[in-house]
Amino acid sequence: MSAITGAAALRGLTVLFVGVAFAYVFSVLMRQWMRWRGRGASSRRILSTVTFWVISALVFAAAITVVFPSINPVDILGGLGVISVAAGIAFQTVLGNMFAGIVILSRDSFRVGDQVKVGENAGTITEIHLSSTAIRTFDGQLVIVPNTIMHSSQVVVQTGFERVRTVVPVELSSLADFDRAQLIAEEVMADLDFVMNEPAPRAMFSSVGVESVTMDLLFWSGSKKLESREATDIIIRSVVKALQSAGIELATTGLEALRAGGSI
């Protein structure tokens, strides 16, 4: 290896300074572009940071070859390849989570604030890191999910759209006036604040039992868990009360479920 000259060192520092400045400007522009495309904050922050460090590493390698002309860039790349293989073997799980995190952030299928269900865990995403995703469950627990699981498992994004449909079955007596029950249920649901009028709520019969007929209450509400639960609660209370006031007889199983505090 030849001795370092002042001119070579100056050229190397110039390459390093200009290259790092370029990496910074490029990462900022990339972040603004992703913001314009509607990407989530975590996606913008992490992907732009990764891009900055990748470009900076390449610039550093270029600066080394400028300072030490005897060093072949191919040798540097070969050394990096050996180091990468060794690191991949030693930190297989960590790197797997990181690459899964990059894929997740690139797709931007879910973001901080979305309500999701992954396996047995359901809640709100509070943070998306490069190696893991933090979920605050609906009962207040913090769950850290490795990104390999988030990438390979089925993830249900409840808030992926602005509204969701809910179906509540109501058991009517086989002797009830079905047409009247259907009309009452639809009129009641249409007047409730938590229920969206477009598409309009519907009451439709789905099955017949020995002494009962099942009428499904189909309605759309906000996609958040609390919004759909509040809509379900007020619909059960309002529809059942209206049916009973109109003399529409519920099936015995449905009444027993209500008295026990369960859902119909």
Helix (H/G/I), strand (E/B), else coil: 39: coil
State how far the Cα of 8 lies from the Cα of 21, in Å rounded to an integer. 20
**What is each CA distance from 79 to 16, 20, 51, 56, in whole angstroms?**
20, 22, 21, 17
State how far the Cα of 165 lies from the Cα of 118, in Å rounded to an integer. 20
pLDDT of residue 5: 67
pLDDT of residue 81: 61
Domain 163-259 top-level CATH class: alpha beta
What's the token pair of residue 159?
């808030």
pLDDT of residue 260: 44
* Same fold yes or no, 6-90 and 109-160: no
pLDDT of residue 262: 43
Domain boundaries, the chain: 6-90, 109-160, 163-259
pLDDT of residue 44: 78
Helix (H/G/I), strand (E/B), else coil: 249: coil
Which CATH number describes the domain made up of 6-90?
1.10.287.1260
Ranges of the chain whose pLDDT falls below 70: 1-6, 8, 69-92, 252-264
- Per-residue pLDDT tens digits for 138-158: 989 999 999 999 988 899 998
Could you say which DSSP state residue 196 is in? Answer: -
State how far the Cα of 81 lies from the Cα of 79, in Å rounded to an integer. 5
pTM summary value: 0.62
Fold of 109-160: SH3 type barrels. (2.30.30)
- Per-residue pLDDT tens digits for 190-218: 988 888 888 899 999 988 888 889 999 99
At residue 222, φ and ψ (nearest 5 deg) are -60, 150
